[in-house]
């Protein structure tokens, strides 16, 4: 099988729409990092289906201990690229935490996260949640049902603690968004004052926990809940230690999630390799969503292997095949829990980047106000649609994928289409981000600094 793909790679000479061929990979041997989450699936599928080999790429996929280690190893060159949190290239570029020029030309997926609380917290929340017609809790569940639990903990002199995976992660911002929409302050950062805890004025104290350790950390009582990607919400249900209360699809339908990241220097030195990587991952994403998710059971099976996610196939399949289990036995249809290709999921829209930057400003990671122009310029600098479009056009030109699979690339694609309303009803206006930020009741706005 590998030999067949090797010969195929020699024969294939993809071309972009201008007719210019994509040359051989400058660096055919690659080491790519990932975290053990189901949304690393495009990488696993590109390897297993031979899409990397078709491009003349010999890829080693290597699981990383946590998001910081992963980012550091990409920056130092120990990894050639990686499955990244969508906020990581932005955080690095603006100098929050590690300062480095990191870019992305590929969005790996939409949605895919959930917020889970311990059984004890759920028992306290449940009486305040109305039932639907089937006698199950009515969704989406607002964080205002958590507010009395947090207040009771405070009255007892205890901090209410929840976990998220990294300070610039979607999980951090989604958890903060949900809490604030329910009237709970998740706290502020003040990096210019040396405070990166994110707990200034916090009603709920958030801390970093690596994804695979979330269930055990909650079971030990160190945290009372968490926001994480799959399969670690479903794992809590499977183990009987917690209840997912909301998915990020319910917080913001078709929200951006992970990206594939490389350093700007690597991209400039290896343009053909980069394009060939993108071609392979685009084919993998298409395979994952093809024929109404027909390949998802096969994907769950391969992701269950120890070298990928290493969780029970049954747990992974819960969300990957379009269902989600809240309380044990409360299984609901969520066909878009993971979206890898449809709805133009792979396109690196500037609006995705602007939303992350707006939340960084809202919670103090960006300490000073910025102009609307700054948000747009930063987004386009990091989210490289120009590189993506070269790879996409080459797939159209050689007949691998139809033009209808991609947005109209003759237009200036700024705003991600087909997104629903945010849970608090505040309209996201990516072309005027400061007006968006100023609408929040909780959060920094205008010229406010800490």
pLDDT at residue 27 is higher than 80: yes
Could you tell me the CATH number of the domain that includes residue 47?
A: 3.40.190.10
Higher pLDDT, 97 or 173: 173
Share of the chain above pLDDT 70, in %: 96
Give yes or no: residues 99 and 118 share one domain.
no
216-245 burial, b at 16+ Cβ within 10 Å, e below that, comes to ebbbeeebbbbbbbbbbbbbbbbeebbbbb
pLDDT at residue 233 is higher than 70: yes
Give yes or no: residues 182 and 47 share one domain.
no
User: In the prediction, which pLDDT does 148 show?
Assistant: 97
pLDDT at residue 18 is higher than 70: no
User: In the prediction, which pLDDT does 1 show?
Assistant: 39
Please give the helix or strand (H or E) that residue 258 lies within, else none.
strand 258-263
Give yes or no: residues 128 and 237 share one domain.
yes
Q: What is the mean pLDDT of residues 118-138?
A: 95
How much is the mean pLDDT over the chain? Answer: 94
**Could you say which of 255, 278, 301 is where a domain stops?**
255
Give yes or no: residues 272 and 219 share one domain.
no
pLDDT band for 97, please (50, 70, 90 cuts).
Answer: confident
For residue 73, being part of any structural domain is answered with: yes
d(CA 48, CA 204): 42
For residue 444, being part of any structural domain is answered with: no
Give yes or no: residues 222 and 268 share one domain.
no
pLDDT at residue 8 is higher than 90: no
Range of the domain at 157: 113-255
pTM of the model: 0.95
DSSP 338-375: EESSGGGTTS--HHHHHHHHHHHHHTTSS-S---HHHH
* Number of domains into which the chain is organized: 2
List, in order, residues 6 or more apart from 282 with CB less than 8 Å away.
106, 341, 346, 391, 392, 395, 401
User: In the prediction, which pLDDT does 107 show?
Assistant: 98
For residue 418, being part of any structural domain is answered with: no
pLDDT at residue 226 is higher than 80: yes
Give yes or no: residues 147 and 17 share one domain.
no
Q: What is the mean pLDDT of residues 155-170?
A: 96
Give yes or no: residues 244 and 349 share one domain.
no
**Could you say which of 255, 287, 307 is where a domain stops?**
255
**Could you say which of 255, 279, 298 is where a domain stops?**
255
pLDDT band for 21, please (50, 70, 90 cuts).
Answer: confident
Give yes or no: residues 262 and 387 share one domain.
yes
For residue 222, being part of any structural domain is answered with: yes
For residue 283, being part of any structural domain is answered with: yes
For residue 182, being part of any structural domain is answered with: yes
3 state DSSP class of 144: helix
Nearest alpha-carbon partner for 61 in 79, 77, 37, 75: 79
pLDDT band for 12, please (50, 70, 90 cuts).
Answer: low
Phi, then psi, of 128 in degrees rounded to 5: -95, 0
Q: Where are the beta strands (DSSP E) in 108-232?
A: 110-111, 113-118, 160-164, 188-190, 195-200, 204-208, 225-229
User: In the prediction, which pLDDT does 316 show?
Assistant: 94
3 state DSSP class of 272: helix
| Candidate from 12-26, 73-87, 146-160, 196-210 with smallest mean pLDDT | 12-26
User: In the prediction, which pLDDT does 14 show?
Assistant: 79
Q: Tell me if 111 sits within 8 A of 250, measured CB to CB.
A: no
For residue 445, being part of any structural domain is answered with: no
User: In the prediction, which pLDDT does 300 show?
Assistant: 97
User: In the prediction, which pLDDT does 15 show?
Assistant: 66
Rg (C-alpha) for the chain, rounded Å, is 21
Give yes or no: residues 89 and 117 share one domain.
no
Q: Tell me if 83 sits within 8 A of 39, measured CB to CB.
A: yes
Computed from CA positions of residues 254, 260, 265, 269, in that sequence, does the dihedral angle turn out positive or negative? negative
For residue 440, being part of any structural domain is answered with: no
Give yes or no: residues 303 and 361 share one domain.
yes
Give yes or no: residues 61 and 195 share one domain.
no
pLDDT band for 430, please (50, 70, 90 cuts).
Answer: very high
For 234-279, how does the pLDDT look when each residue is reduced to its tens digit (9 = 90+)? 999 999 999 999 999 999 999 999 999 999 999 999 999 999 999 9
pLDDT band for 423, please (50, 70, 90 cuts).
Answer: very high
Q: What is the mean pLDDT of residues 78-85?
A: 98
Give yes or no: residues 354 and 214 share one domain.
no
């Amino acid at each position: 099988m590998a030999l067949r793909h090797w010969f195929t790679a020699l024969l294939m000479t993809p071309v972009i729409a201008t007719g210019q061929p994509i040359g051989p990979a400058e660096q055919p041997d690659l080491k790519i990092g990932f975290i053990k989450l189901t949304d690393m699936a495009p990488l696993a599928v590109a390897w297993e289906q031979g899409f990397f080999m078709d491009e003349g790429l010999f890829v080693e996929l290597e699981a990383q201990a946590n998001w910081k280690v992963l980012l550091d190893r990409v920056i130092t060159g120990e990894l050639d690229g990686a499955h990244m949190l969508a906020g990581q290239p932005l955080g690095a570029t603006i100098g929050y935490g590690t300062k480095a020029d990191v870019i992305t030309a590929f969005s790996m997926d939409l949605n895919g996260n959930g917020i889970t609380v311990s059984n004890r917290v759920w028992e306290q929340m449940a009486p305040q949640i109305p039932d639907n017609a089937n006698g199950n809790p009515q969704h989406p569940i607002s964080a205002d049902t958590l507010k009395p639990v947090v207040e009771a903990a405070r009255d007892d002199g205890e901090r209410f603690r929840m976990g998220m995976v990294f300070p610039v992660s979607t999980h951090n911002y989604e958890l903060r968004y949900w809490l604030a929409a329910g009237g709970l302050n998740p706290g502020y950062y003040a990096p210019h004052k040396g405070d990166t805890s994110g707990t200034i004025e916090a009603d709920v104290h958030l801390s970093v926990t690596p994804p695979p350790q979330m269930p055990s950390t909650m079971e030990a009582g160190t945290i009372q809940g968490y926001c994480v990607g799959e399969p670690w919400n479903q794992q809590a249900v499977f183990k009987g230690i917690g209840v997912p209360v909301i998915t990020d699809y319910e917080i913001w339908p078709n929200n951006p999630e992970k990206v594939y990241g490389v350093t700007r220097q690597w991209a400039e030195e290896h343009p053909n390799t980069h394009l060939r990587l993108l071609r392979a991952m685009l084919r993998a994403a298409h395979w994952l969503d093809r024929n109404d998710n027909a390949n998802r059971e096969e994907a769950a099976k391969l992701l269950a292997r120890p070298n990928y996610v290493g969780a029970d196939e049954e747990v992974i399949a819960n969300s990957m095949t379009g269902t989600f289990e809240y309380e044990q036995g409360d299984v609901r249809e969520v066909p878009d829990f993971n979206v890898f290709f449809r709805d133009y999921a792979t396109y690196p829209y500037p609006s995705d980047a602007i939303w992350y930057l707006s939340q960084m400003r809202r919670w103090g990671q960006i300490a000073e106000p910025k102009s609307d122009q700054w948000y747009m310029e930063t987004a386009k600098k990091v989210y490289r649609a120009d590189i993506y479009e070269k790879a996409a056009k080459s797939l159209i030109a050689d007949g691998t994928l139809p033009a209808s699979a991609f947005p109209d690339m003759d237009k200036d694609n700024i705003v991600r289409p087909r997104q629903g309303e945010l849970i608090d009803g505040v309209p996201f206006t990516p072309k005027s981000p400061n007006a968006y930020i100023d609408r929040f009741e909780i959060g920094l706005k205008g010229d406010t600094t800490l």
